């Protein structure tokens, strides 16, 4: 039976490290790092993510404000908000919660954020730095996965990492992080057009599922002893739960756990790492401003 990678515990350790670094900065006479979070509209999921980010920031001594705008805000007005935050020296990090309403082009807004304050690591300059292996902000979920692997003692150098999913927020940036010097994996990225995906997945020493389909990865797709990282968050109906559903990953956990050497659960695996990396990025933004 696989050992379970405890994302909650690893995330708590990283948050403790950030808290200590913020306290050290304060002892050296620096002000607290400051994160500006921009929320447009009243989508309950976005509002809940933003509350989580504000709470986690406060817990480590990072100051933050959530600037909330009505769904009717124009693209131009929102770009003005971003420009104002860019030129405000008291703002270290800027995070615009996505998705934005349909009449606003997400890409235009992300591109308007100063790369020096881009704590989500979505700006093309941040992505370029990542691809060529320069220091800088890290993409939250992929960097969280690398932290999980390294802090669990997984040997990444020379390992074959197969990533299922090629999105801009998970699959592609993770492929780059895993390739970079110091991590040194051999990387294969699979997607919806990949031929004979199970055969490729079976070659993985480290298998990462970032698809968005419940129980996509079955036992026959996993090499015995592989490390399995489940990024997926899927709702499946469950009449026994008060809310009528439960969250599951992209991996058939019950079938795969007996074969894998290490596995992340959902929830409690990759999920808690995302905010921890955001806090690391905000600290970095304050340290380099």
Counting contacts by CB under 6 A, is residue 171 touching ligand NAD? yes
The answer to the question of residue 97 lying near ligand NAD (CB under 6 A) is no
- Window contacting ligand NAD (CB under 6 A); options: 14-22, 24-32, 82-90, 230-238: 230-238
Answer for which of 116, 125, 233, 255 binds ligand NAD (CB under 6 A) is 233
Decide if residue 51 touches ligand NAD (CB under 6 A). no
Q: Is the dihedral of CA 104, 107, 108, 110 positive or negative?
A: positive
The reply on whether position 169 binds ligand NAD by CB under 6 A is yes
Is the Cβ of residue 167 or residue 289 nearer to ligand NAD in the bound state?
A: 167
In this structure, what is the dihedral angle of CA atoms 187, 190, 194, 195, given to the nearest 10 degrees? 60
Nearest residue (CB) to ligand NAD, 131 versus 233: 233
Residues 177-216 within binding reach of ligand NAD (CB under 6 A): 190-192, 194, 197, 210-212
The distance of Cα 180 from the centroid of its chain, to the nearest Å, equals 18
Pairwise CA distance, residues 258 & 180, whole Å: 31
Judged by CB under 6 A, the stretch of 52-60, 93-101, 218-226, 266-274 that binds ligand NAD is 266-274
167 binds ligand NAD (CB under 6 A): yes
Catalytic residue among 92, 118, 120, 250: 120
Residue from 271, 276, 278, 280 binding ligand NAD (CB under 6 A) = 271
- Let me know if 120 is a catalytic residue: yes
Catalytic residue among 92, 97, 138, 172: 97
- Does residue 165 belong to the site contacting ligand NAD (CB under 6 A)? yes
Which of 166, 202, 223, 246 binds ligand NAD (CB under 6 A)? It is: 166
Q: For strand 245-248 and strand 234-237, is the pairing parallel, antiparallel, or unpaired?
A: antiparallel
Query: Does 125 interact with ligand NAD (rule: CB under 6 A)?
Result: no
Active site residue 53: yes
Using alpha carbons only, how large is the chain's radius of gyration in Å?
A: 19
Q: How far apart are CA 173 and CA 139, in angstroms?
A: 7
Sequence-distant (6+) residues with CB within 8 A of 76 are none
Residue with the shortest CB distance to ligand NAD: 167
CA 185/CA 215 separation, integer angstroms: 26
Q: Does 231 bind ligand NAD (CB under 6 A)?
A: yes
- Residue 214's region, left for phi above 0, alpha for psi from -120 to 50, else beta, is beta
Which residues of the chain form contacts with ligand NAD (CB under 6 A)? 141, 164-167, 169-171, 190-192, 194, 197, 210-212, 231-234, 270-271, 274
Report the catalytic residues: 53, 97, 120
């Amino acid at each position: 039976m696989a050992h379970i990678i405890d994302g909650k515990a690893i995330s708590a350790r990283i948050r403790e490290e950030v808290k200590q670094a913020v306290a050290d900065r304060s002892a050296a006479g620096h002000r607290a790092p400051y994160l500006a979070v921009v929320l447009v509209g009243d989508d309950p999921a976005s509002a809940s993510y933003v509350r989580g980010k504000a709470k986690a920031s406060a817990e480590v001594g990072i100051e933050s404000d959530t600037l909330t705008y009505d769904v009717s805000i124009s693209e131009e007005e929102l770009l003005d908000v971003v420009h104002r935050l860019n030129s405000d020296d008291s703002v270290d990090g800027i995070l615009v919660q996505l998705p934005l309403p349909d009449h606003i082009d997400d890409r235009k807004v992300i591109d308007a954020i100063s790369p020096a304050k881009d704590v989500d690591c979505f700006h093309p300059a941040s992505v370029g730095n990542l691809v060529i292996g320069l220091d800088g902000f890290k993409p939250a979920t992929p960097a969280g996965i690398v932290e999980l692997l390294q802090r669990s003692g997984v040997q990444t150098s020379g390992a074959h990492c197969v990533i299922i999913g090629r999105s801009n927020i998970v699959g592609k940036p993770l492929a780059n992080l895993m390739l970079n010097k110091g991590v040194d994996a051999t990387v294969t990225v699979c997607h919806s057009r990949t031929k004979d995906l199970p055969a490729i997945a079976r070659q993985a020493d480290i298998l990462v599922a970032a698809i968005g389909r419940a129980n996509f990865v079955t036992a026959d797709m996993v090499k015995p002893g592989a490390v399995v990282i489940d990024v997926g968050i899927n709702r499946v109906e469950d009449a026994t739960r008060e809310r009528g559903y439960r969250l599951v990953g992209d991996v058939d956990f019950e079938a795969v756990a007996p074969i894998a050497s290490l596995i992340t659960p959902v929830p409690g695996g990759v999920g808690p790492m995302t905010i921890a990396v955001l806090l690391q990025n905000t600290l970095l933004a304050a340290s380099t401003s």
